[in-house]
Homo-oligomer: A and B are copies of this chain.
Amino acid sequence: MRIDGLQYANWSEKIFRQLREGGVDAVHVTIAYHENFRETVLNFEHWNRWFEQYPDLIMKGLGVDDIDTARATGRTAVFFGFQNPSPIEDDIGLVEIVHSLGARFMQLTYNNQSLLATGCYEAEDAGLTRMGKQVVREMNRVGLVVDMSHSADRSTIEAAEWSERPIAITHANPHDWAPALRNKRDAVIRAVTENGGMFGFSVYPYHLKGKSGCTLEDFCEMIARAAERYGPEHLGIGTDLCQDQPDSVVEWMRVGRWTKQIDYGEGSKSDPGFPPMPLWFQDNRHFGNIEVGLRATGLNETEVAGIMGDNWYRFFSESFAPSTKREEFGSGN
């Protein structure tokens, strides 16, 4: 089983076919960065049309049953997520609404301060806000996973501890391996995994040691070391593949509507676009390379299978259904 914990491609029949060629059974796709609720609905609609257009390649993913169906019918199950809480605006009631529409992951922040928490590019990290605490509880209730990939350290640790269900960092790498601002320090990864959460390793070149020149061996050795440190069962892949996107989309991701100036994020004025992907992971067809690389590190078959997909499968199975815990209505925190 192969599951990718995050992609944001410029989707097309070509990429859907590459998902099949790479044997990707399920993928979490970003459908919103800075879109408000109404704009996000249009993105759901866009995916609904793709599911109609390419019923032999992809299908909507709401629960792990859909991964089973996808595998049985040779398709990829697509699970939706947001990289920012913009789609819920300032309304906690929209958490259940977006879950009904199929959202299964939501980042509490995308680099900047949000209404809920602090992003990893802010100078000060005040942790979860009042609304943030309420929204995490509501996400727990309906089955929307808290994703802290772009959040700051304190906010992430607080989210891992405050959340009643395991959370995720869907796409990042350890900071002590590649010191990008977006990569995660030991205490952060520990807080997430010790609370039952998942950490997905990114192939986005700015998160790799040596960037686009990072070798498969280096990448997989890093994963093997993380398995020793955090337990292999908490690890997965979250490639952050942003295939075929024009630079205008990189700009939307980084700048949204929050500034009138250009913010280059991890890029620079001379290098504003997406960096080239490493040779061993050009697109979804290369998923098998990672599996081969992981075996070569000495991880055993169960561990490799876990990291390639079984761990996400287990996490999905525990995360997307409404909580069975009966809440007293109105018992706030």
| A residues with CB within 8 A of B | 37-38, 41-42, 44-45, 48-49, 52-53, 55, 91, 93-94, 96-97, 100-102, 326-327, 329
CA distance A331 to B11 in the complex (A): 23
Q: Smallest distance from the beta carbon of A39 to chain B beta carbons, Å?
A: 11
* Residues from chain B with Cβ under 8 Å of A42 in the complex: 93
Task: Check if B329 sits within 8 Å of A53, measured CB to CB.
Answer: yes
Task: Check if B93 sits within 8 Å of A49, measured CB to CB.
Answer: yes
Q: Smallest distance from the beta carbon of A138 to chain B beta carbons, Å?
A: 10
**Chain A binding surface, main DSSP class:** helix
Closest to A54 in B: B329
* Residues from chain B with Cβ under 8 Å of A101 in the complex: 97, 100-101
Task: Check if A45 sits within 8 Å of B96, measured CB to CB.
Answer: yes
Supplied contacts A48-B96, A52-B329, 5 more A-B pairs, CB within 8 Å: A44-B97, A45-B96, A45-B97, A55-B326, A101-B101
Q: Smallest distance from the beta carbon of A214 to chain B beta carbons, Å?
A: 40
Q: Can you report 9 residue pairs joining A to B where beta carbons are below 8 Å apart?
A: A37-B38, A38-B38, A41-B94, A44-B100, A45-B97, A48-B96, A49-B93, A53-B329, A55-B326
CA distance A19 to B193 in the complex (A): 47
* Residues from chain B with Cβ under 8 Å of A44 in the complex: 97, 100
